[in-house]
Chains A and B, each alone.
Chain A
Amino acid sequence: MILDYETLKFIWWILIGVLLIGFAIADGMDMGVGVLLPFLGKTDEERRVIINTVGPHWDGNQVWLITAGGAIFAAWPAVYAAAFSGFYMAMLLVLFALFFRPVGFDYRSKIEDPRWRNSWDWALFVGGLVPALIFGVAFGNLLQGVPFQFDEFLRSHYQGSLLTALLPLLNPFALLAGIISLAMLVMHGAMWLQIRTEAPVSDRARSVAIWLGLVVVLAFAGAGLWVAYGIDGFRVVTQPALDAPSNPLAKTVVAERGAWLSIYHTVPVAILAPIIGFGGILLAVLLSVLRRPGLGFIASALGMAGIISTAGLSMFPFILPSSLDPNSSLTVWDAPSSHFTLTVMFWAVVLLLPLVLSYTAWCYTRMWGKVTVDGIRAGSHTAY
């Protein structure tokens, strides 16, 4: 064990963040493309062009989501348990929507019937829209605290079931967070389409990216003000040793207005996250205007990384604050697995992630180039 427990707990907070950002950049792009599909593709061939820009890659990209789920299970089992069961109805919505994508991509162009194809196009739309929206809504609820608590055996209990569990999640602040998430992923998808398609599809993507970029910036600024003046953050009052075995009931916590901004006073460099968030998105808009989508894609990826990091940093060290019993909140220091498991998983990531990134890059370079209507016609039996 080269790394001490406290350091590893902190590293794992960063690693989960990296996986979530990786998910947004890779699979978020596919979800954005799915949402845009029925609108930017006016003919069947244009729609096939749009689908085939992500066709070879969406499945690998989706693994960022699956791996993030698995990594949360391994590194923060208490979060995996309390969050996924507490957000039960929302998780079901996400899953049911996600089911549409693997079958949608593979089955859509296997039959020529326009009704068949049109149905799958809308299925891909739902498969992109619902998760993109719900993930933002989930973050919006994390920031407000989630109504769960632990009993003495660390079993989590929550308020509500079915609609009484789902509807409170759809509150105004959470919906605003959902709009940020949806708008940024769709914008990111539009950046990708600008790179990989030709006019007229790329022109349509360009104007979508410009407008949605402005929506993201405004909504993100609005959420920032709301966090400062409209909702309570949480603050740890008494903290057991940071390298103590994980016990979420050992600390005390209070809810407090403005607590989510304290990190920017104690660690001023954290302000870089929102700056990169605003800057990246605005730069992506500018580069779309200038017709430089390649750089613009990198800018929108950076912008999303900045926005997600802002949410994570503002809550630090909280991961899953509890509105019902603040002391039950889960933090970076009391949600993780044991020292041994964090060590094993750390080395697994260090060894495997660079490998994943390199063969993913190889696959993208092999499939590079504009997807065109002529190309689709030539490979009609192979293409999606």
Chain B
Amino acid sequence: MIDPLFVELSRWQFAATAMYHFLFVPLTLGLSWMLFMMESAYVLTDNVVYRDMTRFWGKLFGINFAVGVATGLTMEFEFGTNWAYYSHYVGDVFGAPLAIEGLMAFFLESTFIGLFFLGWDKLTKRQHLAVTFFTALGSNLSAMWILVANGWMQNPVGSAFSPETMRMEMTSFTEVLFNPVAQVKFVHTVAAGYVTGAMFVLAISAWYMLKGRDLGFAKRSFAIAAGFGMASILSVIVLGDESGYTLGDVQKTKLAAIEAEYETHPAPAGLTLFAIPDEQAMENSYSIKLPWALGLIATRSTTGEVTGIKDLVVKHEERIRSGIEAYDALQRLRAGERSDEISARFDLHKTDLGYGLLLKKYTASVVDATPEQIALAARDTIPPVAPLFVTFRLMVLAGVLMFFLISASLYFSMRRTIERQRWLLKALVWSLPLPWIACETGWFVAEFGRQPWAIGEVLPTFLATSSLTSGDLIFSLTGFITFYTVLLVIELFLMIKFTRLGPASLGTGRYHGENGHAAAAHAAG
């Protein structure tokens, strides 16, 4: 029978390792393109300050990248180690983007990154610029393939269940690749990474300006980051991935949970800005609503309806009943009864097979499930509302704050008065955690909101695990958290150390804290 503690521990481990990994990924995504911009400016203008910028921000990039690679290793193997049944059940579809990610993206990024750091004296200017470009392209391609994989977990298109092999099999690679949920998620996620890179450079440059050091270096870095950040934050907000939430049942459920929409309202639905959701009674107290907004954002129309949670539960109960039929037919097929009648019955109900599997939490014999068990399973199809409602609003709040900060940064940067706006510079330094808060809460919403499914409508999370023990998981979870925390502490130590040293760490003699830097800094600035 299912051991709830073991399932819980498996989920905690995946969440912990993935969220740690994603502390490092967004900065890589954003900073890599900014390095390319800085180096392009160097190649075009021959002004050595742009080379120094590329090398200095590149040093910080490297400190971050190293832990990103280390924590990324876990992700490539963790489906097999901890989600073995998942791997068997959907590897035919899900494994393909992961393998292509390795071949197309990881090789590109990782082969060239060594030359980015160590090839300055061995490559011509243009060759080095190309190396930087391919590093950035590789990391962004990797984001694309992993989001194709993740998009399929949310909205499993281009595939069908095969009773003979007892797994999902791919039927169309292009449908998997051009899955609309994957495309929206890709744009949203990389743009969030670009914002992270921009906020990182803005905050540190602001700190140099507040200290009155390396002004020329800091202002140039700041200007690039402000421009890049503005384009990125607009993309994140305008192309927010709520537009993907009308596709497929799991996404609809997630949307209803995020919005604590218990009832289906006439279109276009209002957006709940604030409320205290009561999950038992299925209602909200103290809600403040913005009319029309949700309908417009989620369906991009004034007529699209946003289905409420109560209606979703009713619909899911029907699908569970149909899933029982599918499960019964599957059992007969697996046992060798190969009649046309059973095959036809299986084909009729097979899209609901996953809903039938939800009952395995309550009974080993799915076909004999009682009405109470069916009702419980139907209630399980709605993820806990309050955590989603709150984290989603945190993400949006962080995004809106960053929008204002970046807009002001760009404005004053263009007016060339940025070093005098001390309030803004201070606000930027203190806002450094904002992009990480937005990224982590965003992932939480996306994945916690997918529950109870590992693969939407196909495979419940509690069935997707490996056949390990809670002891195994306590050991490994403790190990990962300890190891990762030590790595994080070392990483932050080096980040802070080299941020304090600033461009002087390049040893060029042109910067703050180096002998004779005053004259040279003036020349470079």
Contacts and interface: CB of A to CB of B under 8 A. Distances in A.
Interface of A: 52, 55-60, 62-63, 66-67, 69-71, 73-75, 77-78, 80-85, 88-89, 91-92, 95-96, 98-99, 101-103, 105-107, 110-111, 152-158, 161-162, 165, 245-247, 337-338, 340-341, 344-345, 348-349, 352-353, 356, 359-360, 363, 366-367, 379-384
B371 interface: no
B88 A353 contact: no
Nearest to A100: B70
Closest 9 CB pairs of A and B: A77-B91, A84-B80, A60-B111, A56-B114, A74-B95, A67-B102, A73-B95, A85-B466, A85-B84
B466 A63 contact: no
A63 B106 contact: yes
28 contacts: A55-B118, A57-B111, A63-B111, A69-B77, A73-B99, A74-B98, A75-B99, A77-B87, A77-B88, A77-B167, A81-B466, A82-B84, A84-B81, A85-B80, A85-B84, A85-B468, A105-B66, A106-B63, A107-B66, A107-B494, A158-B467, A162-B471, A165-B472, A341-B92, A341-B93, A348-B96, A352-B107, A366-B123
B111 A356 contact: yes
A366 B121 CA distance: 10
A74 B81 contact: no
B185 to A, nearest CB: 20
A66 B467 contact: no
Nearest to A343: B173
Contacts of B81: 84-85, 88, 91-92
B516 interface: no
Interface string B52-78: 000000000011011101110110110
Nearest to A89: B472
A275 to B, nearest CB: 32
Interface in B80-137: 80-82, 84-88, 90-96, 98-104, 106-108, 110-115, 117-123, 127, 134
Contacts of B492: none
Contacts of B100: 70, 345, 348, 352
Contacts of B476: 88, 92
A74 B96 contact: yes
Contacts of B134: 359
Contact of A62 (B110, B491, B498): B110
Nearest to A99: B70
Contacts of A89: 472
Contacts of B170: 337-338, 340-341, 344
B91 A96 contact: no
B119 A338 contact: no
B167 A154 contact: yes
A181 to B, nearest CB: 18
A340 B159 CA distance: 11
B342 interface: no
A352 B74 CA distance: 24
B212 interface: no
Given A56-B115, A60-B111, A102-B66, A381 B506 contact: yes
Q: Which of A77, A96, A98 has the most chain B CB atoms inside 10 A of its CB?
A: A77
A380 B121 CA distance: 12
A318 B173 CA distance: 29
A158 B81 CA distance: 13
A56 B79 contact: no
B286 interface: no
Interface size class of B (residues with CB under 8 A): 35 or more
Contacts of A156: 84, 88, 467
Interface of B: 62-63, 65-67, 69-71, 73-74, 76-77, 79-82, 84-88, 90-96, 98-104, 106-108, 110-115, 117-123, 127, 134, 162, 164-167, 169-171, 173, 334, 466-469, 471-472, 475-476, 479, 483, 487, 490-491, 494, 497-498, 505-507
B118 A84 contact: no
Main secondary structure of the interface of A (DSSP, over half): helix
Given A110-B494, A367-B115, A81 B88 contact: yes
Given A69-B80, A345-B99, 17 more contacts: A59-B111, A60-B113, A73-B94, A75-B95, A77-B88, A78-B91, A81-B84, A95-B73, A99-B70, A99-B71, A337-B169, A338-B162, A341-B92, A359-B108, A360-B111, A367-B119, A382-B120
A358 B14 CA distance: 36
Given A344-B96, A379-B121, A353 B84 contact: no
A126 B117 CA distance: 24
A349 B110 CA distance: 18
Contacts of A95: 73-74, 77
Contact of A366 (B103, B127, B479, B498): B127
Contacts of B483: 96, 99
A338 B110 CA distance: 30
Contact of A70 (B76, B120, B471, B475): B76
Contacts of B79: 73, 80
Contacts of A106: 62-63, 65-66
Contact of B164 (A55, A245, A360, A380): A245
Contact of A85 (B82, B104, B498, B505): B82
Contact of B102 (A70, A82, A384): A70
A359 B66 contact: no
B489 to A, nearest CB: 12
A340 B110 CA distance: 30
A369 B263 CA distance: 70
A67 B110 CA distance: 12
Contacts of A66: 73, 76, 102, 106
